A and B are shown apart, each in its own frame.
Chain A
Amino acid sequence: MILKEQLISVIYQAIDEVNAVLPPDQQLEKSIHTVLFGESGKLDSLGLVNMIVTTEQKIEENFGIAITLADEKAMSQRNSPFRTVESLAEYIPQLITERQHA
C-alpha cells in the first residue's frame, strides 16, 4: 500500500524536474494546493504534458509500477485529476489498484 504522503513527495520530485526547465515566472510551488491544470494554473499545455509524464516516470522509478496517468477516465472526468497536486495524489492509487486487477 502506497501512502498519499509518499505520492505527494514523488509529485514534488516531478515538480523539481519540471521547474528546472520552466521560466522563473512559471515555477510551481511544492504544495498540495498547487494548481497544475485549469484557469489559475501556471503551466501551459506543454508544461502539463511534461508534468504528467515526469510524474509517471517518478512513480515507476520509486515504486517500480508502470502506469499510464493519462488514461481515458482521467481525460474525460469533469473534475480533472490533474487539477492540483492533491487531486493527482488521490487519483494515482485508483490507477494502481485497477492495474493490479487487470
Chain B
Amino acid sequence: MPEQVMLITGSGKGIGKYLAEYYSAKGYRVIGCSRSEVDFKLDNYRHFCLDVSDEKKVKEMFAEINRSFGRLDILVNNAGIASMNHVLLTPLETVHKILNTNVVGTFLFCREAAKLMRKNKSGRIVNFATVATPLKLEGEAIYASSKAAVVSLTEVLARELAQFGITVNAVGPTPVKTDLIRSVPPQKIEDLIRRQAIPRLGEFRDISNVIDFFIRPESDFVTGAVIYLGGV
C-alpha cells in the first residue's frame, strides 16, 4: 500500500496537535495547518500557515499537496473555535468568526479534498461535531449551531460523495482539556459532564479511537455517521 496522506486542520495545538503526533507516529504522511506557526517538529509532518476560511490560501495548499504527493487519503476537519456567551451579549463579529472557521472552513476543506480524493476513487473525511449540540448547551448558541451545521454537512456530503468512494463521518467529543474550554468556568464543565452517560472528562485517545474506526479500510460502508462520545 502506498504511503497514506492525511491532512489535519487546526494542528497547532490541542486535539489537532495530538492527532498530528499520533498519526505521524503511526507512519502516515501528515499535513497540518493553523493560522500561527507551530513550535514543534515532527517526522513526516509539514505545516501550512493559513486561515481555513481563506479560499485562495486553501486552494494553493491543496495545489501544493497535489504537486508534492499527488494524492490525499484522509481529511480530518479539526480546526474549530468556540465562544461562551449569552445570546444577548454575543457580538456579531464573534458570530461571523465562529461560522467562518467551523462551517465555511469545514465546507471548503471537504470540497477541495474531495476533488483530490476523487482521483483515487477513495477517501475518508472526518469532521468535528460537539456534544454541545445535542445537549443544547446554554451560552453556546452559536458554537452549537455551527456544529449542527457541520453535522448536516456531514450527512449530506456523505451522500453526494459516496459515488467517489469517499466516506464522510463526524466525531462529537465531550469536554477535553485544551485551550478551547480554558475560559469555561469549572462548575459549568462539571454540570455538563454529569449529563453524560459516562461522567468523566474526554481524553485525546477517545477521539483518535473514533477516527481510527472511521478511517480503517473495513469502514468503507460507514458514512454519514456522527459518533458522540461519553454516551451523550
Contact = CB atoms under 8 A, between A and B. Distances in A.
B191 interface: no
Q: Chain A: interface secondary structure? A: helix
Q: Chain B: interface secondary structure? A: helix
A53 interface: yes
A46 B59 contact: no
Interface residues of B, number: 10
Interface residues of A, number: 13
Given A46-B163, A99-B56, A66 B63 contact: yes
B115 A56 contact: yes
B55 interface: yes
Would you list the 3 A-B pairs with minimal beta carbon distance, nearest first? A66-B59, A66-B63, A53-B115
Interface of B: 55-56, 59-60, 62-63, 66, 115, 118, 163
14 contacts: A46-B163, A53-B115, A53-B118, A56-B115, A57-B115, A60-B63, A61-B66, A64-B63, A66-B60, A66-B62, A66-B63, A67-B59, A68-B55, A102-B56
Given A60-B63, A99-B56, 13 more contacts: A50-B118, A53-B115, A56-B115, A57-B66, A60-B66, A61-B66, A64-B63, A66-B60, A66-B63, A67-B59, A68-B55, A68-B59, A102-B56
